[in-house]
Amino acid sequence: MTSAQTHSINADAIAEIKSVKASNLDAEAAKAKLGPDSLMWRDFGTYLYQFILPQAFIMQTAHPMVDRAVAVDQKYKKNPWGRAKDSLKLLWPIIYSKPQDAIDMGVRLRELHRSIKGVDKDGKKYHAMDPEAYAWVHMTGYDALLRLYRFFSNHKMTPKERAMLFEEWKAMGTMLGIIDKSLPQTEEEYWERYNYLVDERLEKGPVLDELLDPMFIYHHYPRPPKSKMPMPVWKAIALFWGYTQNKVILGTLPTRFRKKINLKYTKTDRIMFNTFAFLVRTFYPMLSYEKQYLGSVRRVMDDAKANPDAYQL
């Protein structure tokens, strides 16, 4: 039995879950780092960021505590469009909102996660606020942002920008209710913790087997809501989308993790991913501002330009 399989909710974890309250968090100071002049504001709401999200979900779900919750809920395959809509509605406002609205959304997210708990089909308990798992889900975000810059952006981050991004990532963690002892305070601590969890906790379970299947979208995604496109057309799109997304996931996953779960990454996979990444770096910058950002995000950004004082504490 691996250490990943033995991770469970203990008395200390329960005490930490109960200790996280909005009144204990320096949410205002955290939000001040996530305003319109932040890197997160610039990048988090782009369509470009969507390319890296599937990889982050794979890394999150590889934690056994997250895997249990996802396997029971099954929203990832029973209502994938609803899951995407909920993520946009709940997580993105932590960045793209007026300060008090963002703080309130952080409280709402924490309380929502408190209710996600239960027992899986094997009798193992899970809780979305398990300190290690909850922090791990957020940890995948910083690595994903770095990989976004590495693979899909022509902009090379300076050391100053990287340090700024790390501080913003910590601030977002505070907004989400992750207490300091669960949140790495330096990048050195971050990578030490990240690599430990990859080596000692993560595993490939049934959910990952499904998510890593190139046919997953074809088999489980219905047509987009309100779409009237012919089903054969949708199936063709789903087939291409699933195959392409699979190559992007393989290319953006950490080598350390691929080796851990014995995931094949062939020379052909690498060539296809590198070609895709090159095309993104070449053509994405040609898009207009309006087409680079999610619609709901763009409206908030436009409002912040028109009413800058409303987005300052």
d(CA 118, CA 43): 35
Total domain count, the chain: 1
Which of 16, 169, 194 is CA-nearest to residue 94? 169
Residues 6+ apart with CB under 8 A from 59: 140, 143, 144, 202, 253, 254, 257
Q: Does residue 242 lie within any of the structural domains?
A: yes
Q: List helix spans (H) across the chain.
A: 3-6, 11-19, 27-32, 39-43, 47-50, 53-61, 64-73, 75-78, 80-90, 99-114, 131-152, 159-175, 187-200, 206-211, 216-220, 231-252, 255-260, 267-283, 289-292, 295-306
Q: Does residue 224 lie within any of the structural domains?
A: yes
CB-CB neighbours of 42 under 10 Å:
13
Residues 6+ apart with CB under 8 A from 83: 75, 76
Q: Is the pTM of this model over 0.85?
A: yes
313 residues of the chain, pLDDT tens digit each: 344 445 655 555 555 545 555 444 478 888 999 999 999 999 999 999 999 999 999 999 999 999 988 888 888 898 989 888 888 888 899 999 999 999 999 888 888 888 778 887 778 887 878 889 999 999 999 999 999 999 999 998 999 999 999 999 999 999 988 877 889 999 999 999 999 999 999 999 889 999 999 999 999 999 999 899 999 999 999 999 999 999 999 999 999 999 999 999 999 999 999 999 999 999 999 999 889 999 999 999 999 999 999 998 7
Please check whether residue 113 is in contact with residue 40, taking contact to mean a CB–CB distance below 8 angstroms.
Answer: no
Q: Does residue 72 lie within any of the structural domains?
A: yes
Q: Does residue 268 lie within any of the structural domains?
A: yes
Q: Does residue 1 lie within any of the structural domains?
A: no
Q: Does residue 129 lie within any of the structural domains?
A: yes
Q: Does residue 311 lie within any of the structural domains?
A: no
- Residue range of the domain that includes 26: 16-297
Q: Does residue 307 lie within any of the structural domains?
A: no
